[in-house]
Amino acid sequence: MKEITEGKNAPAFSAIDQDGEKIKLADFKGQKLALYFYPKDDTSTCTVQACNLRDGFKALAKKGITVVGVSPDDEKSHVKFISKHKLPFRIIADTDHVLLEKYGVWGEKSMYGKKYMGVFRKTFLIDENGVVVKIISKPNVKVHADEIAEGFE
């Protein structure tokens, strides 16, 4: 797996969203895309991040920025998460970790001295031509919509 770097093309993908609809990078040609990876639906930090993106969604849309989430949870979990928190964006169900691995956000983590495999919270800002213009490696979940907007400036 090649490391993704700013200024290079984003890895192409084809995946399934919460509704079982196919979603691919090519769908966003001509648009700015914030592809954000997070560990788990309806957990405290992930919910704060998703709700911040929900609250900033209209402002991001005015700037031509589309938000898409990705986590290893299944479609059913995403539907509940979206419904419960009134999320206005699509979420990819990457249960087989193909997209997570392609973007280098799946790996060994450690909590309380215990090692496990999981998702590194990271956001890739992709321009209209499919080029990664910024990688937000440690998003501040409370102001993530602002970070995304600033990243495209």
CB 118 within 8 A of CB 39: yes
The verdict on whether 46 is a catalytic residue reads yes
Structure tokens at 32: 């700015």
Q: In three state form, how does the secondary structure of 27-96 look?
A: HHCCCEEEEEECCCCCCHHHHHHHHHHHHCHHHHHHCCEEEEEEECCCHHHHHHHHHHHCCCCEEEECCC
Beta bridge partners of 67: 34
CA distance linking residue 100 with residue 118, whole number of Å? 10
Catalytic, out of 10, 23, 25, 46: 46
CA 75 to chain centre: 15
- Which positions are annotated as active-site residues? 46
